[in-house]
Amino acid sequence: MSPPARRPRKGTVTDEDSNRRQQLLRASARLFREKGYDGTSVRDIAQATGMQSGSWVYHFATKQDILEAVMEEGLVDALARIEAIAALDLPPRRRFEQLVRTHLDTILGPGQDFIPVVLYEWRSLEAAARHRVTVPLKRYEAIWQAAITGLQQSGEWPGRTRIDALLLFGALNWIARWYQPAGPLGVDALAEECVRFFLRPPATARPGRTARRARA
Q: How many residues does the chain have?
A: 216
What are the domain boundaries of the chain? Answer: 64-200
- pLDDT, tens digit, for every residue of 27-71? 999 999 999 999 999 889 888 887 665 555 557 888 999 999 999
For residue 20, the model assigns a pLDDT of 82
For residue 17, the model assigns a pLDDT of 65
Nearest to 24 by CA among 49, 41, 1: 49
Model pTM score? 0.80
For residue 203, the model assigns a pLDDT of 57
H-helix segments, 41-159: 42-49, 63-86, 92-108, 114-120, 127-154
For residue 7, the model assigns a pLDDT of 38
Residue that wins the pLDDT comparison between 202 and 117: 117
- pLDDT, tens digit, for every residue of 9-19? 444 556 566 78
How far is residue 64's CA from residue 128's CA, in Å, rounded to a whole number? 11
For residue 14, the model assigns a pLDDT of 61
What is 64-200's CATH topology? Answer: Tetracycline Repressor; domain 2 (1.10.357)
Contacts of 195 (CB under 8 A, 6+ apart): 93, 96, 97, 100
Q: Which amino acid type is present at position 95?
A: R
- pLDDT, tens digit, for every residue of 92-137? 999 999 999 999 999 998 888 999 999 999 999 999 899 889 999 9
How far is residue 171's CA from residue 148's CA, in Å, rounded to a whole number? 15
Distance of CA 186 to the CA centre of its chain: 18
How far is residue 27's CA from residue 16's CA, in Å, rounded to a whole number? 16
For residue 216, the model assigns a pLDDT of 41
- pLDDT, tens digit, for every residue of 135-146? 999 999 999 999
Contact 122, 67 (CB under 8 A): no
- pLDDT, tens digit, for every residue of 20-35? 888 889 999 999 999 9
Alpha-carbon dihedral sign for residues 47, 52, 53, 54: negative
